[in-house]
Amino acid sequence: MGGVPDLEVTGGGGGAVRAAAAAAAGAAADVAAAVRGASGVLPTAYVRSDITPSGVGTGDGAAKGVGDGAASVAVNGATSAATSVAAGGARVALDAAPEIATRDSRLAAVWAKIRAGRRLDLADGLACLESHDLLALGRMADAVNRARNGDRVMFVVNRQLNPTNLCILDCKFCDFAARKGDAHAYEMSMDEMLARITPDLREVHIVGGLHPTWRFDDYLAIMNAIKAKSPAIQIKAWTAVEVDWFARIARTSIESVLERLVEAGLDTLPGGGAEVFSDRVQEILFKPKIGADRWLEVHQIAHRMGIRSNATLLYGHVETYEERVVHMMRLRDLQDETGGFLAFIPLAFQPGNTGIVERQASSIEDLRTVATSRLVLDNFPHVKSYWVMLGEGTAQVALHFGASDLDGTIGEERIAHYALAGSALGHAKEEIVRMIREAGKVPVERDARYNEVGVEIA
């Protein structure tokens, strides 16, 4: 194996970002990333006291456990009975919900339901995804998001770290994973990983493949070394698929794996590996992987132990609208029970060289999915507009379609870029701030647990 393919990011001070995924010779992942200038006058500085937090969990879940701080808020003057769920899972209702005109009668019925404080069902979710009145759908999701988050959009100064792409699984949608001997296969040395942990980072997001020979202790060693180098950094690491794998290779329970991960510095679990909660899609695209029940079980156990987590949906391949909505509703059910989810992240499938679909879902499809998730997931604090997969422009527009988080600076994204994503590999903090302000929103820097960090943003 020829070392770590270089993903070079230049001009990190807010200037051009150029990415060249020069994977080992002949590899498919030769990526030219978007070049964006960071010029322009930045709007007024954000100061913590400018805003009033609302609908954001306390964020100290790992210390206290989740489940505190349930909120019940008036809906259109009436009290919503269905709002007494846990911290992260609190439903927030709309005071003086606006009239939103639409000629789509099914969408109008959805809005009437929301204004009455009633929960959406499968048919409602389908009405949203099937509606041609995208702007009315967007206004609805925006109103619901504003009731929770106002104009604030959160982001984190973070870096993604993918220690290896060697993976025993063979998921049809994944261009990132490799087998030993593949041209693009890599394993980072500890020095290579630590070189990526710089003092400016607040969060490191670590995921990789299910390596054929690494032991659980090897994964723990990565976390321990990162914490030794940078004790204050927060670690968001390992998908439920990896947590399940660790339990298998260490021949122990999920609880014991999570305990050891927390001892090694784990703060939160990322939302990856969920794909689509559908046996049908699993059979076609990710047969050898854990399915919906196990993914949900891992997150349920984590939440019970006080570990907060995220949830993703991979869309834009072979799934149906119904499967998307069912996926959201299963997440909503778990959130009702535990309140442990922080954010939902719709991941737009990057077709790369998979041959599954000819092109990425359109921006219209992206915005529909973001907006629908904001309306269906009434107990999730945040819907994330993941600029890596959406592209920076659509990600900005999604901030008006219900999204309240832009993820972060990312540093060096590999999973989407091995699948030929057109976005940058990473962005300087100034560029993320500019993207949020350009969308007319207020940037709020957060940590991995969605605590506002209260730094003044220039």
Give residues in contact with ligand V47 (CB under 6 A): 173-176, 239, 270-273, 275, 310, 312, 314, 345, 347, 349-350, 352, 386, 389, 407, 415-416, 419
User: Which of 161, 77, 150 lies closest to 117 in space, CA to CA?
Assistant: 77
Q: Give least dist CB 164 to ligand V47, A.
A: 14
Pick the closer one to ligand V47 by CB: 207 or 439: 207
Q: Please list, residue by residue across 337-351, b when 16 or more beta carbons sit within 10 angstroms of its beta carbon and e when fewer do.
A: bbbbbbbbbbbbbbb
Pick the closer one to ligand V47 by CB: 124 or 407: 407
Q: Give least dist CB 191 to ligand V47, A.
A: 25
308-315 and 266-269 beta bridge pairing: parallel
238-to-161, 241, 293, 396, 452 alpha-carbon distances in Å? 11, 8, 18, 28, 23
Pick the closer one to ligand V47 by CB: 45 or 453: 453
Pick the closer one to ligand V47 by CB: 139 or 324: 324
**Cα–Cα distance between 410 and 417 in angstroms, integer?**
12
**Cα–Cα distance between 37 and 305 in angstroms, integer?**
44
Pick the closer one to ligand V47 by CB: 216 or 349: 349
Q: Give least dist CB 160 to ligand V47, A.
A: 8
Task: For residue 156, give the 3-state DSSP assignment.
Answer: strand
Pick the closer one to ligand V47 by CB: 46 or 173: 173
**Cα–Cα distance between 351 and 317 in angstroms, integer?**
8
Q: Give least dist CB 313 to ligand V47, A.
A: 8
Q: Give least dist CB 22 to ligand V47, A.
A: 19
Pick the closer one to ligand V47 by CB: 350 or 379: 350
Q: Give least dist CB 293 to ligand V47, A.
A: 17
Within its chain, how far is the Cα of 76 from the centroid? 31
Task: For residue 13, give the 3-state DSSP assignment.
Answer: coil
Are the CB atoms for 87 and 67 separated by under 8 Å? yes
Are the CB atoms for 386 and 410 separated by under 8 Å? no
Within its chain, how far is the Cα of 53 from the centroid? 21
Pick the closer one to ligand V47 by CB: 239 or 282: 239
Q: Give least dist CB 117 to ligand V47, A.
A: 29
Q: Give least dist CB 310 to ligand V47, A.
A: 3
Hey, CA dihedral for 89, 92, 93, 97, is it positive or negative?
A: negative
Q: Bridge partners of 269? A: 309
Using CB atoms, what's the residue nearest to ligand V47? Answer: 272
- Give the largest CA-CA distance in the chain: 64
User: Which of 126, 61, 31, 86 lies closest to 350 in space, CA to CA?
Assistant: 31
Q: Give least dist CB 418 to ligand V47, A.
A: 8
Pick the closer one to ligand V47 by CB: 102 or 309: 309
Spell out the residues 6+ positions from residue 232 whose beta carbon is closer than 8 angstroms to its own: none
Are the CB atoms for 128 and 372 separated by under 8 Å? yes
DSSP state of 48: G
CB count in 10 Å sphere of residue 273: 24
Q: Give least dist CB 309 to ligand V47, A.
A: 8
Are the CB atoms for 221 and 175 separated by under 8 Å? no
Q: Give least dist CB 446 to ligand V47, A.
A: 12
Pick the closer one to ligand V47 by CB: 107 or 314: 314
Pick the closer one to ligand V47 by CB: 174 or 290: 174
442-445 and 203-206 beta bridge pairing: unpaired
